[in-house]
Amino acid sequence: MIKVLIADDEIHICRLIQALIQWDSLEMEPVGVANNGMEAIGLVKEKKPDILITDIRMPGCSGLELIKEAKQLIPDLQILIISGYAHFEYAQQAMKYGVGDYILKPIKQDELNSTLMRMAEKWKSTRSIEDRLVQAAQTSQDINRLRRSLIEDMLDDNEFRLDDDSIV
């Protein structure tokens, strides 16, 4: 399941977001709700979400400050901003920090869920690439271990022969 953290200083907006998301069909689960930026940073550290949904203007620290710090903690964190502010400067700054998308309030269920679906696909793609890299590294380590073992066996056994019978 993809872990989602919601951060907005308006409690009713957090509840609305939770109600609008089609959790099961998106294979997502809520891991926390924060009502200010500082609380959200603590939850990012503790819960290590895969997706962060946040407002831009919140007490404690702004959504932009939250995004900056969250990306330092979890570089591949997917971020969705939901805001009532359509200011280009906010969106521009958010994109510099690697925000995946920006939705304006009032929130539309179809727009929210389709955006989260795209973000989930991107997250899964990133995970798949990371999994393949880990697998390749493990395979490389296994090959190196086998080489070392073979060399040690050859050095220990002066009569070591490599023929079909010695290959397991």
Tally the C-alpha atoms within 13 A of residue 151's C-alpha that lie toward its C-beta.
6
- What is the pLDDT, as a whole number, of residue 61? 82
- What is the pLDDT, as a whole number, of residue 130? 57
Q: From CA 34, how far away is CA 8, in angstroms rounded?
A: 6
This prediction's pTM = 0.73
- What is the pLDDT, as a whole number, of residue 77? 93
Q: Which residues of the chain have pLDDT under 50?
A: none
Q: Give the number of other CB atoms < 10 A from CB of residue 33.
A: 19
Mean model confidence pLDDT for the chain: 84
- What is the pLDDT, as a whole number, of residue 57? 82
Angle between helices 63-73 and 88-96 (to 10 degrees): 10
pLDDT digit string, tens, across residues 109-148: 999 999 999 999 988 887 655 556 556 666 666 677 777 7
Residues in the chain: 168
Single-letter amino acid code for the residue at 57? R
Q: Is 166 exposed, middle or buried (0-12, 13-18, 19+ CB in 10 A)?
A: exposed
